[in-house]
Amino acid sequence: MSARPAISGILFDKDGTLLDYQASWAPINLRAGRLAAQGDPALEVHLLTLAGVDPSTGFSISDGLLAAGNTREVAQAWHEAGSKFPVAELTSRLDALFQAGVADVVPVCDLAPLFAGLSWRGLALGIASSDSEAAVCATAERFGIAGRLDFLCGYDSGHGAKPKPGMVESFCRKTGLPAHAIAVIGDSAHDMHMAVAAGAGLRIAVLTGAGSAETLRPLSHLLLPSIADLEQALFD
């Protein structure tokens, strides 16, 4: 990219971007597999492996289903793979488990001063996640950034799911900003493809999720170790 566009708003992914994905979600992924398998160890291994998760550690592979998909997509895949829960019930149970996990998630840096600094610069800020809206709200409250947000949404907020452009488009409508003035920051190919589909001006990938430099570098304008480096990368 020869010249970086002027950016007036930033739309963050949550898991793997604001939160260290493996540190936060490895134990939650294992609990999700146990829940869906209902005490069947072989099925548990099968479901986790299908979702791109190591069944012994809970770590996710790059862009695996549990890392990049939303709860409804996970529930549908696991139901088809042998979970006895109906899709709607499994979706609800997984959403509840994921929301409860907010108490234990690990941020990639101290989020409150980062968001305060970005807000001080006059940037509109938002979160767009494949988790539920309730879990996004709980995360924002826990880390003291809710008051800095102009927009937040989950897969169930009515704006569509990643990698479709609806979440970015809704952020633009809420803030009054054109897409070319928006930076989208995420850890997965889904985030980058969403940004492309919406015409976002800047695509920033981070390496605190399940994605790899090899997969993310070709899809992004900037590749950062984490959002801890964001202000320096954008403004220094």
Task: Dump pLDDT digits (tens) for 175-189.
Answer: 999 999 999 999 999
Of 13, 15, 48, 49, nearest to 34 by C-alpha is: 48
Q: How confident is the model at residue 161, as a pLDDT?
A: 95
Q: How confident is the model at residue 201, as a pLDDT?
A: 97
Interatomic CA distance for residues 112 and 146, integer angstroms = 9
Residue recorded with tokens 């959002």: 227
Q: Which residues does 208 contact at the CB level (< 8 Å), separation at least 6?
A: 16, 17, 19, 20, 21, 108, 187, 225, 226, 227
In whole angstroms, what separates CA 191 from the centre of its chain?
Answer: 8
Taking phi over 0 as left and psi of -120 to 50 as alpha, with beta for the rest, 157 belongs to: alpha
Q: How confident is the model at residue 168, as a pLDDT?
A: 98
Parse the chain into domains and list their residue ranges.
Answer: 9-20+107-235, 22-104
Interatomic CA distance for residues 43 and 23, integer angstroms = 24
Query: Helix, strand, or coil here: 45?
Result: helix
Residue recorded with tokens 């001063």: 113
Q: 71: which 2 tokens?
A: 């709860």
What is the DSSP secondary structure assignment for residue 19, as one 8-state letter? B
Q: How confident is the model at residue 5, as a pLDDT?
A: 80
Q: How confident is the model at residue 3, as a pLDDT?
A: 64
CATH code reported for the domain at 9-20+107-235: 3.40.50.1000
Question: Computed from CA positions of residues 131, 175, 206, 104, in that sequence, does the dihedral angle turn out positive or negative?
Answer: negative
Interatomic CA distance for residues 18 and 111, integer angstroms = 7
Q: Which residues of the chain have pLDDT under 70?
A: 1-3
Contact 235, 7 (CB under 8 A): no
Contact 160, 174 (CB under 8 A): no
